[in-house]
């Protein structure tokens, strides 16, 4: 997976969110996207912007770190 940095585009954020298991929906017809992770946490983002907001980028980073920690815990359990 590529680096998440402050200049993430919305299309990249959508692609990364699919890989991380984040659900994306349009709750209303206001042009917003709702990013929801199954473990909790959600972020609203304007679909009219081409770039990802800082809040969305931070949210995806947290999900990515949590997933990496889960994977690391599984590896430790299998090794022990």
9-61 pLDDT, tens digit each: 889 899 999 998 999 998 877 789 999 998 888 999 988 888 888 889 889 98
Q: Which residues pair with 42 in a beta bridge?
A: 36
Token pair in block for residue 3:
């680096």
* Assigned domain for 1 exists: no
Q: Which domain holds residue 34?
A: 10-79
Angstrom distance (rounded) from CA 69 to CA 12: 23
- CATH number of the domain within which 23 lies: 3.30.920
The pLDDT score that the predictor gives to residue 43 is 92
Q: Is the pLDDT of residue 73 over 70?
A: no
Q: Is the pLDDT of residue 63 over 80?
A: yes
pLDDT band at 4 (very low <50, low <70, confident <90, very high): very low
pTM score: 0.76
* Assigned domain for 41 exists: yes
Helical spans, DSSP H, in the chain: 10-20, 54-79
* Assigned domain for 63 exists: yes
* Assigned domain for 4 exists: no
* Assigned domain for 44 exists: yes
DSSP state of 58: H
Is-contact 80 36, C-beta < 8 A?
no
* CA proximity to 38, closest of 19, 63, 72: 63
* Assigned domain for 30 exists: yes
Token pair in block for residue 71:
């994977």
* Assigned domain for 21 exists: yes
What's the total number of domains in the chain? 1
């Amino acid at each position: 997976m590529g680096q998440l940095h402050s200049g993430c585009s919305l299309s990249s954020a959508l692609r990364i969110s699919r890989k991380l298991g984040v659900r994306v929906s349009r709750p209303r017809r206001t042009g917003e996207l709702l990013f929801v992770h199954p473990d909790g946490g959600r972020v609203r983002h304007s679909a009219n912007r081409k770039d990802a907001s800082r809040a969305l980028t931070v949210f995806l980073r947290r999900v990515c770190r949590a997933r990496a920690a889960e994977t690391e815990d599984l590896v430790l359990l299998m090794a022990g």
